[in-house]
Every structure is written in structure tokens, then in C-alpha cells.
Amino acid sequence: MRCRTCGAPAAINMRQHKLALCRAHYVDWIPEQTERAIEHYRMFTRGEKLLVAVSGGKDSLALWDVLHRLGYGADGIYIDLGIDAGIGYSAKSRALCEQFASARGLQLQVVSVPGAYGSSIPDVAKQSVRGRRKPCSVCGLVKRHIMNRVCREQGYAALATGHNLDDEAAVLLHNAMTWSGGYLVRQAPVLAATRPGLARKVKPFCRIYERETAAYTLMQKIEYIYDECPYATGSSTLYYKELLNRMEEDRPGAKLQFYLAFLQAKDQGLFAPGASGESELHDCPQCGQPTSAPGKCAFCRLWENIPPVAPSPGLGPEKEPGDAGEETS
Ligand code: Q46
Ligand code: ZN
Ligand code: ZN
């Protein structure tokens, strides 16, 4: 197999695009594709200051690398969830993000959940409402809250996440299986900041396959954490990813077609206005972030149920910076 551009031996063959490329042309092809998506969906402009949510995984670090290479001003944010699980998961992923940033002279903000709020995500999950919450639901809530706050307080124009096509197609399939209208309406490459205090969310890799981001990190020699978060095992997203991989195997391009046809159908009025079922947002009386919950937001209510632990010196919830959601809690 030969590179379509220069005829050298190909480093990757992408059946879905009927395209084979050598290493040198592949590592330029990914930024070109990303730039096309940024422009096509009007995600952000070169003058805007971006915050990239990095986890130490391949997708988010690849995204930060690509945005940096494309000349966008992007700082990173890493949220230390305090997950150890016998493998030092958070410590390892944090070190990889710090190493990535310092090697490129990029600005990384680190927010430690145990440091700022007194408990790790697994502990909060155990202690919340008699341990009925799963770590992932607590984690999602906390990350969205913190990231939205950092965006809002520090004047970032948008929060960029490393969600790739496999992530988006899996979530889409999951929500389509239950016709979860509210989630389907809000699934998009760009979520506009519909009110003050809400960060714009963008997914520049939404048309890039997971296999392609993995190949990019490898070819760019980006070190990332190979271990999955221990709580990801058995998640429904992984199940839907496997199903979609089987379809992709039979029909290369199936995932991309599924996702793009969904976006097109939405543009053509698949959903009636108001189909999101979203209620009005108001500012949480405690933290000031937008919420649809009556009274205080879910983030503030979550911590009310956790026994107080003395925070580390100098760190407090309101002083600390912070995945932004359209609705943060
Ligand atoms: S980090 Fe958090 Fe994920 Fe781990 S606890 Fe679940 S949600 S699986 S992206
Ligand atoms: Zn080539
Ligand atoms: Zn609140």
C-alpha cells in the first residue's frame, strides 16, 4: 500500500476514506481535517482563547497538539479526580498532561477535586445519598461544573473536548435506542453558550475516527495513559462502540455516515422546536452557575451530603478554577 500523496510506503490505510498515507502526510492530514470541521461548524476563530479539557488520554492530548500546531491559542485544564484504583490512575494521567504541556511550553491548569473540595470522586460517590450514585455520574457532574466555572471566570471563549467520532456515534446510538429526545437535540459539534455563565462547548474531532486519533498520537510520539479509567469498564458506551465497530467492519464508513446523516436530519427539522424538553435555567443561589434544578444546583447539593473534610491550605471551592456542560449541574 502506497501513500496517495507521495507514493512512499503507507503508514495507515483508512478504508472508510479510501485513503492510504505515509507518516509525514498523515500527521498533516489530521490537522487539515480538524481545521475543516472547526470552520464547517463555526466552532471558534483564531482570535478566541480556548480551554482544552485534557485527561491524559490519547484523544484529548492529540486535540491539544493539533490545535497548537494549527496556531490556536489553547490552554489546557486537567481535573484530578483522585482516582487511584491500585494503579495510581489520576497521578499518572496528571503527570502525562504536565509533561505534555511543559514540553511544548503550554499553559495547563490543574484542579484537584480532593484538594479543593476535600474528597475524591470515588469517595463522594460512596458517601452521596447512601452510596447510590455511580462514580461516573458524580464525575460527569463535577467535571462539567468545574470546567464551566473556569471558562466563565477566566474569560475563555470555548471549551474544547477530545470527543471523537466513535464517542459521538456510540452516544447517538445509545440515545436513539431509547429515543431520548432531549439528549438527541443537544448532541452537536458545537453547543452554543445560550445564556451568560454558560461556556460554549466544541468537539473539533467529532468527524475523526478513534483509530485515527490513536494512530496520530503514535506517529507524533505523544505519551498518553494506556489504562482506561477503572470505572469505564462495562459502560454502555463501550458496548455501543463494539456494535458500531462490527458494522464498520462490514461497511467501512458506516459510523461516519450514521453521525453525519443524523446532523443533517437535525438541520432539516427532524425535531420540533422545543423538543429538547429543557427547562428554563436560572443561576444557582449558592455558586452562581446556571442550573435547571429548582433552588441550588446539583453540584452544590452533592457536596451538602458529604461530611466536611478540611481542605488543603490555600485551596477552596470558589478560588479554584474548572468540561463545561450546556447546563452545568
Ligand atoms: S473518568 Fe469519570 Fe470517565 Fe472515570 S469515573 Fe467515569 S466519567 S470513566 S470519562
Ligand atoms: Zn506521503
Ligand atoms: Zn450551585
What pLDDT shows up at residue 270? 86
Ligand 1 atom 8, closest CA: 232
Instruction: Single out the residue of 168, 141, 17, 6 nearest to residue 79, CA to CA.
Output: 141
Three cell numbers at 87? 494503579
Q: Which ligand is nearest to the CA of 89?
A: 1
Which residue has its alpha carbon closest to ligand 1 atom 6? 136
The atom number, within ligand 1, closest to the CA of 235 reads 8
Residue 180 has a CB neighbour count (10 Å cut-off) of: 15
Atom of ligand 1 nearest to the CA of 135: 5
The closest ligand to the CA of 303 turns out to be 3
The cell for 67 is: 490545535
pLDDT at 324: 30
- Among 317, 280, 283, smallest CA distance to 302 is for 317
Ligand nearest to the CA of 22: 2
Q: How many angstroms separate the CA atoms of 261 and 268, rounded? A: 10
Q: Which residues pair with 190 in a beta bridge?
A: 202
Q: How do strand 200-202 and strand 108-112 relate by DSSP bridges?
A: unpaired
For the chain of 329 residues, list the mean pLDDT of each consecutive stretch of 10: 98 97 98 98 97 98 98 98 94 98 98 95 85 85 96 96 98 95 93 91 98 98 94 89 98 98 94 70 92 91 76 36 37
Q: Is the dihedral of CA 120, 122, 125, 127 positive or negative?
A: negative
3-state secondary structure the chain: CECCCCCCECCEEEHHHCEEECHHHHHHHHHHHHHHHHHHCCCCCCCCCEEEECCCCHHHHHHHHHHHHCCCCEEEEEEECCCCCCCCHHHHHHHHHHHHHHHHCCCEEEEEHHHHHCCCHHHHHHHHHHHCCCHHHHHHHHHHHHHHHHHHHHCCCEEECCCCHHHHHHHHHHHHHCCCHHHHHHCCCEECCCCCCCCEEECCCCCCCHHHHHHHHHHCCCCCCCCCCHHHCCCHHHHHHHHHHHHHHHCCCHHHHHHHHHHHHHHCCCCCCCCCCCCCCEECCCCCCEECCCCCCHHHHHHHCCCCCCCCCCCCCCCCCCCCCCCCC
Q: Are 121 and 142 a contacting pair, CB within 8 Å?
A: yes
Q: Whose CA is nearest to atom 1 of ligand 1?
A: 229
On whether the pTM is more than 0.75, the answer is: yes
Residues near ligand 1 (Cβ within 6 A): 121, 135-136, 139-140, 229, 231-232
pLDDT at residue 322 in the model: 30
Residue (of 96, 109, 139) closest to 49 by Cα position: 109
The pLDDT of residue 223: 98
Atom of ligand 1 nearest to the CA of 229: 4
Separation of alpha carbons 232 and 241, rounded Å: 13
Alpha carbon of 86 to ligand 3 centroid (Å):
32
Quote the ligand 1 centre to 10 CA distance (angstroms): 35
Which residue from 60, 133, 139, 164 has its CB within 8 A of the most atoms of ligand 1, so it is best to mutate? 139
